[in-house]
Amino acid sequence: MSYPSDLRYTKEHEWVRVEGNVGVVGITRHAQDALGDIVHVELPAVGKKVTKGGGAAEVESVKAVSEVYSPLSGTVVAVNGALDGNESTINSDPHGDGWLFKIQIEKPAELDELMDAAAYTAFEAH
């Protein structure tokens, strides 16, 4: 599987797209495939402080409920309200319209600890 090259990835299968000083966060296709059909999502509250590796959201599939960890530290500035009642968007477009939340990035240096698409592809293959 190929992953978008404009994203950075975590070992917990989240991604972040940097847009200025804001990070758009979602789960990877690999995570979505492993979970199966996503049927519900609990998004964080706008204004919530999140830390790199800390729990930020939950996705519920037909198989399990899984924590979504923030790939970076910051403050939630937006959530994807379009997912309310339309969680299937995560199944069909996890790297695009299926994004979960946006954070104001507090520690840009944390980006250096994330994987690029090639590294994530190699990691995911193991």
pLDDT, tens only, 41-80: 999 999 999 999 999 999 999 989 999 999 999 999 999 9
Of the CA atoms within 13 Å of residue 124, those in its CB half-sphere come to 23
- The model's pTM is 0.97
Domains of the chain: 8-108 (2.40.50.100)
**Helical segments of 1-126, H only:** 29-35, 88-92, 117-124
Q: pLDDT digits over 88-126, tens only?
A: 999 999 999 999 999 999 999 999 999 999 999 999 888
